[in-house]
């Protein structure tokens, strides 16, 4: 109630005035008792009925309050304060139509009644009728344009209607009036978050934090730093928010997402299991738990959680896709095809799925000239946490070592012999220790952010470039291009080789490997592994056409697939013209 500012009594019984003053000091029960006795003696005292209604409202005795207010109205039907207070009581009772009726009576009597305009706005805001609420706040601001509370409420209406830019301007106007208002600072920060203006969001959240820290501030800072890809700072603030509200679902989910991004799978799982406690049937949480187990190669656990998702949504395409991937990892190609076909029906334009089906079904005339960029990026982003261990222990991969040996045996390179070597498809940086001693500058290229993040931790690379090989703007003045197990992700090598040769210095080298294809076909073919095999003649012809000469060659195997050795060929080509 805002009664003490609105009651304007021209005359008041002396004893009533005395108790009115005591009422204002907080003696509500005692005042009510007096008002009840007073109206028995003076039943036509409209002031007493009004004060009795206010006391009952403050004590949340709303039915009694309405009786008292309506008794006052029977004496003074046009009393705007009583109508306004009746409106308040009906809003408390959520009888909004009746509340609006009495507020409108006030406006008919007194069109510029600021308090009633404000309360009509608040009433409609409570009902999520944001456009109507906004209209009332605009009318109120026409009467009091420098009212920061009205501006704040107007900004909330605009924010909830997704008019984020308008809301931002309104909140900033409010802060210009009350420059120490933390609530306004937080809303400005949230507005900038919605617009992906993360540095602005951080500025206002930090200003608010300087007044007093809160969950919303820490969570907002976490979201802003996450938007800036600063996962360490995001983790710091999400954890501080977690300490204040450990069972906030959104914060717990974001915390898990950052842990996953940092390949801290145990911590991510712990957070997502906590999310599951709050929302046991949350489809996204069940899916994320399955993904974590998939990264850990805990196939049975991953299957279990992915199938819990399908029990709720049989057409969850990402889950079907992952189940196909799990089947492939367990050498169950027919099961993988079944899952991928289901995804293809749901997403007929998904190039990744069409590519995998072409490969698994042995499509001889596949239209794919390379692996889809998104497929390769996702494959290695997902693979990154367990890449080194799986590559060396399961696939028995030694391509970096074998190609480096070929360079040693052919060139006998000296320390810092070359100015610039580019490790194409550098992955986690396994080739770095072999290549770095030979060059003044080592660059790495990969399409997977997660792989590059791990390569960066080796501290061997001077530059790391994110990009898909066929689409790259190639570095200039390169002495050696090193491509260990990269060409199997590109079928048609003509454009890639032409661009590489153009970027090579005179006498520069291309050191590469291929999976052995059928020389009878003369070019390349998509295998059931989802990788391309190349004919030796095809590669040598392309290199020769582009001005390179083969200076060494070795037929060997550098990896295993499903426990069987893969036939590989290693080459060194030299640019001669």
Dump pLDDT digits (tens) for 316-357.
999 999 999 899 888 898 999 999 999 999 999 998 899 889
Q: What is the mean pLDDT of residues 500-513?
A: 95
Contact 404, 513 (CB under 8 A): no
With pLDDT > 90 as the criterion, what percentage of the chain qualifies? 76
Q: What is the pLDDT of residue 375?
A: 83
Q: pLDDT at residue 128 above 90?
A: yes
Element (H, E) at 568: strand 568-575
SS (H, E, C) 60-93: CCHHHHHHHHHHHHHHCCCCHHHHHHHHHHHHHC
Give the global pTM: 0.76
**pLDDT of 170 higher than 90:** yes
Mean pLDDT for the stretch of residues 302-322: 96
Rounded-to-integer distance, Cα 305 and Cα 311, Å: 10
- Look at residue 391 in the predicted model and tell me its pLDDT: 60
Cβ-based burial of 427 (10 A; exposed 0-12, middle 13-18, buried ≥19): buried
Over residues 162-176, mean pLDDT: 97
């Amino acid at each position: 109630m805002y009664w003490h500012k609105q009651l304007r009594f021209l005359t008041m019984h002396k004893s009533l005035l005395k108790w009115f003053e005591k009422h204002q000091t907080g003696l509500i029960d005692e005042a009510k008792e007096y008002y009840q006795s007073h109206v028995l003696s003076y039943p036509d005292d409209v002031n007493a009925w009004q004060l009795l209604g206010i006391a009952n409202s403050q004590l949340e005795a709303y039915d009694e309050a309405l009786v008292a207010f309506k008794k006052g109205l029977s004496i003074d039907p046009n009393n705007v304060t009583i109508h306004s207070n009746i409106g308040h009581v009906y809003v408390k009772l959520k009888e909004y139509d009746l509340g609006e009726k009495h507020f409108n009576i006030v406006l008919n009597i007194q069109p510029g009644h600021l308090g009633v305009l404000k309360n009509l706005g608040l009433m409609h805001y409570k009902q999520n009728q944001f456009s109507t609420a906004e209209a009332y706040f605009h009318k109120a601001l026409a009467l009091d344009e420098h009212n920061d509370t009205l501006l704040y409420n107007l900004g909330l209406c605009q924010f909830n209607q997704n008019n984020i830019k308008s809301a931002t301007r309104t909140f900033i106007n409010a802060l210009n009036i009350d420059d120490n208002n933390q609530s306004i600072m937080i809303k400005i920060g949230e507005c900038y978050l919605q617009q992906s203006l993360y540095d602005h969001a951080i500025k206002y959240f930090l200003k608010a934090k300087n007044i007093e820290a809160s969950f919303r501030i820490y969570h907002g800072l976490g979201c802003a730093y996450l938007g800036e890809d600063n996962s360490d700072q995001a983790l710091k603030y999400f954890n501080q928010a977690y300490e204040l509200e450990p069972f906030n679902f959104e914060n717990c989910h974001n915390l898990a997402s950052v842990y996953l991004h940092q390949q801290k799978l145990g911590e991510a799982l712990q957070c997502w299991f906590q999310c599951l406690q709050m929302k046991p049937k949350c489809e996204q949480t069940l899916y994320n738990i399955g993904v974590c187990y998939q990264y850990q190669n805990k196939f049975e656990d991953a299957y279990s959680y992915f199938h819990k998702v399908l029990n709720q949504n049989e057409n969850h395409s990402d889950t079907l896709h992952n189940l196909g991937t799990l089947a492939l990892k367990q050498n169950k190609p027919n099961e993988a095809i079944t899952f991928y076909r289901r995804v293809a029906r749901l997403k007929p334009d998904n190039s990744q799925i069409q590519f995998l089906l072409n490969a698994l079904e042995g499509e001889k005339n596949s239209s794919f000239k390379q692996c889809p960029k998104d497929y390769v990026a996702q494959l290695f982003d997902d693979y990154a946490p367990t890449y080194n261990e799986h590559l060396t222990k399961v696939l028995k991969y030694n391509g970096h070592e074998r190609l480096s040996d070929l360079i040693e045996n052919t060139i006998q390179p000296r320390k810092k012999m070359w100015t610039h070597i580019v490790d194409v498809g550098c992955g986690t940086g396994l080739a770095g220790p072999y290549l770095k001693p030979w060059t003044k500058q080592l660059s790495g290229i990969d399409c997977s952010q997660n792989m590059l993040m791990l390569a960066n931790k080796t501290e061997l690379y001077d530059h790391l470039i994110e990009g898909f090989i066929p689409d790259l703007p190639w570095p200039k003045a390169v002495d050696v291009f090193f491509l260990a197990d990269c060409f199997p992700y590109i079928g048609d090598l003509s454009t890639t080789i032409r661009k590489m040769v153009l970027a090579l210095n005179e006498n520069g080298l291309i050191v590469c490997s291929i999976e052995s294809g059928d020389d009878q076909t003369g070019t390349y073919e998509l295998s059931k592994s989802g990788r391309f095999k190349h004919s030796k003649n095809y590669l040598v012809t392309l290199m020769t056409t582009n001005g390179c000469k083969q200076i060494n060659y070795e037929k060997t195997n550098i990896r295993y697939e499903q426990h069987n050795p893969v036939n590989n060929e290693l080459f060194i080509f030299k640019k001669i013209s």
